Structure 1
Amino acid sequence: MPIATVNPANGETLKTFDPLGAEEIERRLATAEAAFRTYRTTDFAERARLLNRAADLLEQDQQDIARTMTTEMGKPIAAARAEAAKCVKAMRWYARNAEELLADEHPSPADVKDAGASRATVHYRPLGVILAVMPWNFPLWQVVRFMAPALMAGNVGLLKHASNVPQTALYLEDLIRRAGYPEGCFQTLLVGAGAVEGILRDPRVAAATLTGSEPAGRSVAAIAGDEVKKTVLELGGSDPFVVMPSADIDQAARTAVTARVQNNGQSCIAAKRFIVHTDVYDAFTERFTARMQELTVGDPMHDATDVGPLATEQGRADVEALVDDALSHGARVLCGAQRPEGLEQGWYYAPTVLAGITDSMRIHREEAFGPVATLYRVTDVDEAVALANDSPFGLSSNVWTRDEAEVRRFVRDLEAGGVFFNGMTASHPALPFGGVKRSGYGRELSGHGIREFCNTTTVWHGPEKAG
């Protein structure tokens, strides 16, 4: 894929970029290594001052960077502004909390004595240069939720962003520079996917984090494993949205629409499989389908738009292939399943609801990265749990129930990194985020996330000298 800004609303190529050559990559690696040697010694107060300054600048830039994101990958402009605001919030949260999250830990006096020590502490020290390989769907947020904790921990970052959001990637480097960070603390590398292996194998790179597809995660994990370097992976998701009889059906249906079409349906944590108890299936389906049909599809620069184009032409083709396969195996279309009329220039796809899904269909196993919902009918909580877990992914999950026994059952048995009751999955800086199974491993955000790229160091002092 060329490194270029291509407007998905009309297919127009607006700007192209040459990838960095080997000499420039080497210069940036050397700069990052040099920056880490000094930046790692800064105190939390200085790191917080710099990150708060970056947050202030991002807040001032909110309108402009929102337009850049929408131009590059098609998210509705209102959602782009909200993404920028969320990044500001996360940066300030880490600036405020990092020192406490990384405070030295002190084992109990009894355990210190039993370890044969006079004193013992656990310290969290930065690892070094961290490579971040990031996707286009949340081009600002995905990076900031790595960047903010990494910088507050004393690490430095190298960003290999998706090739279709180069201007957003360059903005992030410039934001850190304008905030006053030392040179090399955070750099954007405009390179193709083929350059990742060489960068990751470089001994100056300590670890990597990747958010993206399962194949990309497998590749980065294999390379890092060969080099014995740590990785954090956040990969695909096919999150269940379970509706039980005690749920508020009208609220569930309204939330289900947002949960499915957020970011034009291109979100790993979007609800994708709607698993509904037979007692409320008809009522939920009627309300959910009607609201999906009412969504406004169109120019993402308009505030009234609910669903914009998919980010790439190939992305739309992939969604169409999944839908066509489902239909060929007997799925029923309740709405959508076509390109909207009057929007032929861009990569639009109508909000779609499919019923009659079986395990013979690709969409039952594969992630639909677009505004396509699949409906399932179940008869009891056992069937709901089994169907929710019948997926290679395990990122998050949504459950609508007021029955406390059902709540306990879903918490115990759902195979996912999160269980959200009577609401939709969302990320927040105070809550750990990540998945299980083929959705990846490790956690972002919260104290768990900031400690992922720290060296947890045990410090042991021998017995005090007698007398």
Structure 2
Amino acid sequence: MTMIKCISPVNGEVYAERPAMPLELAKQAVAHARLAQKNWARRPVEERVKLVLAGVARLNEMVDEVVPELAWQMGRPVRYGGEFKGFNERSNYVASIAADALKPIIVEESDRFERRIEREPHGVVFVIAPWNYPYMTAINTVAPALMAGNTVIIKHASQTILVGERMVRAFIEAGVPADVFQNLFLDHDTTAALIAAKSFDFINFTGSVEGGRSIERAAAGTFTGLGLELGGKDPGYVMEDADLDAAVDTLMDGATYNSGQCCCGIERIYVHESLYDAFVEKSVAWVSNYKLGNPLDPETTLGPMANKRFAATVRQQVADAVSKGAKALIDPKLFPQDDGGAYLAPQVLVDVDHSMEFMREETFGPAVGIMKVKNDAEAIELMNDCQYGLTVSLWTNDADRASRIGRDLETGTVFMNRADYLDPALCWTGVKETGRGGSLSILGFHNLTRPKSYHLKKVTA
């Protein structure tokens, strides 16, 4: 029997393990979800929304268990209180727009014709969730999918193996029928076999580019709808009129929070030459104030990375950049807790350029490179010189300028004077190798449903 294991970054030991479900049992679970879907979809949307929000509330009641579990599984310090703020904000927002997002588009309603377009649930939605923000990324799809009348099967990454189990437990205890929302422990081969067999009507995957390619290969020829949020190398651009202190505070937090393990974390920063020296100096001071340590200690502000192999990637990229002329500005003596394994000190690099892997490939750790630029044109060229496109963070007091620059950027979201935030009223989407599709907002509901047209002629004459 294959066991799926979570190796805790806290101590390098097995924290939790579950047996992988055999293919035949997994098929039965999917069949139960399919049988339950029609009755679930027949319930009024208001009832579905109420039950989903009850599940969210029940999970909130488990905060004392959820927060330390996350620390043990993926290393986020307990002082930050888990993911409840974003989890609740996203759930509440999609609940507030569900009825409008799902209502029919009326073309004609007369004594002769009824013509309308209705939104119909896909059926069974498969959510493959990542470990870095395992609750918030999952709820992006789980909440609107259930509200729209789909049944949902969730599979979490092995690093956060307990998250899907706990989410489903909370929702079932709150009244969501057991077959409507299920958590399955699946290995890669079983997952691929289920997808290839067209077990699902829509699949949402958040993870690596290679993981996205594997999903696409497994789904080839099935015509299953896919939503893919993959890699990122999100840039910040600090213009000459920026609020310097605010830019440093937000961009450094965006680069290092959660040990840099954020889908839309800031990984490279371009600063106008007039502010460059001051920005670098303030950034080094900001990052140097972190306390690296055990995430279960309330005094810890920077925990370990989720796995020592992830930290190894960051160390390799930094070392390669330094060997090619980059300069590391954070004194390692400030972080004696860096053990060469999962516990990794943050780092700021200057004298970097785009010949270095560190400035082009996803790092996904608490390290950021800063480059000097002369003007908007140079910054735009550098920000677009990347295979990814999730978000960009522009720092200026001129909204028109930010909009003009944004139109030339190859990205899913343009931020001005903020970063590393997912606004549930806006579509969360990406371009290039960051993936395709979109979640949240009214468009998220549209992606989790399909249009059905009704053309009803009331008279035969």
Q: Aligning the two structures, in what range does the TM-score lie when normalised by the shorter sequence?
A: over 0.9
In the alignment, what sits opposite 1:126? 121
Does the C-alpha gap of structure 1 residues 283 and 268 become closer, same or farther in structure 2, counting only changes over 3 Å? same
Same amino acid, percent of matched pairs: 30
Please give the per-residue CA displacement for 1:420-447, whole angstroms capped at 9, x wherever unaligned.
1011130132221111111111111111
Does the C-alpha gap of structure 1 residues 338 and 260 become closer, same or farther in structure 2, counting only changes over 3 Å? farther
Matched, 1:410 2:405: yes
Does the C-alpha gap of structure 1 residues 265 and 142 become closer, same or farther in structure 2, counting only changes over 3 Å? same
In the alignment, what sits opposite 1:334? 329
In the alignment, what sits opposite 1:392? 387
Gaps of 5+ in 2: none
Query: Do 2:75 and 2:305's aligned partners in 1 also have CA atoms closer than 8 Å?
Result: yes
CA drift at 1:291 = 0.6
Does the C-alpha gap of structure 1 residues 403 and 127 become closer, same or farther in structure 2, counting only changes over 3 Å? same
Gaps of 5+ in 1: none
Matched, 1:100 2:96: no
Q: C-alpha distance in 1, partners of 2:195/2:301?
A: 39
Q: Secondary structure at the match of 1:17?
A: strand
Q: C-alpha distance in 2, partners of 1:270/1:281?
A: 21
Q: Secondary structure at the match of 2:107?
A: coil
In structure 2, what residue type is equivalent to 1:5? C
Matched, 1:79 2:80: yes
In the alignment, what sits opposite 1:196? 191
In the alignment, what sits opposite 2:27? 26
Please give the per-residue CA displacement for 1:291-329, whole angstroms capped at 9, x wherever unaligned.
111111112123332211000111111111111111111
Q: C-alpha distance in 2, partners of 1:125/1:178?
A: 27
Q: C-alpha distance in 2, partners of 1:338/1:191?
A: 42
Q: 1:308-387 counterparts in 2 under 5 A? A: 308-335=303-330, 340-344=335-339, 347-387=342-382
Q: Secondary structure at the match of 1:183?
A: coil
Query: Do 2:234 and 2:266's aligned partners in 1 also have CA atoms closer than 8 Å?
Result: yes
Please give the per-residue CA displacement for 1:164-202, whole angstroms capped at 9, x wherever unaligned.
211112111211211111221111111112221111123
Q: Secondary structure at the match of 2:275?
A: helix
Q: C-alpha distance in 2, partners of 1:347/1:100?
A: 46
Q: Secondary structure at the match of 1:107?
A: strand
CA drift at 1:5 = 2.8
Q: Secondary structure at the match of 2:438?
A: coil
Q: C-alpha distance in 2, partners of 1:74/1:28?
A: 32
Does the C-alpha gap of structure 1 residues 125 and 329 become closer, same or farther in structure 2, counting only changes over 3 Å? same
In structure 2, what residue type is equivalent to 1:105? I
Q: C-alpha distance in 2, partners of 1:339/1:14?
A: 29
Query: Do 1:339 and 1:349's aligned partners in 2 also have CA atoms closer than 8 Å?
Result: no
Q: 1:27-426 counterparts in 2 under 5 A? A: 27-81=28-82, 83-107=83-107, 118-335=113-330, 340-344=335-339, 347-426=342-421
Q: C-alpha distance in 2, partners of 1:36/1:329?
A: 56
TM-score (norm 2): 0.95
Q: Secondary structure at the match of 2:439?
A: coil
Which 4+ stretches in 1 moved above 4 angstroms? 336-339
Query: Alignment length, in residue pairs?
Result: 460
Q: C-alpha distance in 1, partners of 2:17/2:460?
A: 68
Does the C-alpha gap of structure 1 residues 336 and 105 become closer, same or farther in structure 2, counting only changes over 3 Å? farther
Does the C-alpha gap of structure 1 residues 272 and 55 become closer, same or farther in structure 2, counting only changes over 3 Å? same
Query: Do 1:62 and 1:85's aligned partners in 2 also have CA atoms closer than 8 Å?
Result: no
CA drift at 1:408 = 2.9
Query: Do 1:297 and 1:350's aligned partners in 2 also have CA atoms closer than 8 Å?
Result: yes
Q: C-alpha distance in 2, partners of 1:445/1:52?
A: 16
Query: Do 1:338 and 1:349's aligned partners in 2 also have CA atoms closer than 8 Å?
Result: no
Query: Do 2:102 and 2:119's aligned partners in 1 also have CA atoms closer than 8 Å?
Result: yes
Does the C-alpha gap of structure 1 residues 300 and 17 become closer, same or farther in structure 2, counting only changes over 3 Å? same
Does the C-alpha gap of structure 1 residues 80 and 215 become closer, same or farther in structure 2, counting only changes over 3 Å? farther
In the alignment, what sits opposite 1:17? 18
In structure 1, what residue type is equivalent to 2:104? D
Stretch moving more, 411-420 or 83-92: 83-92
Q: Secondary structure at the match of 1:227?
A: coil
TM-score (norm 1): 0.94
Q: C-alpha distance in 2, partners of 1:189/1:336?
A: 45
Stretch moving more, 438-447 or 197-206: 197-206
Q: Secondary structure at the match of 2:159?
A: coil
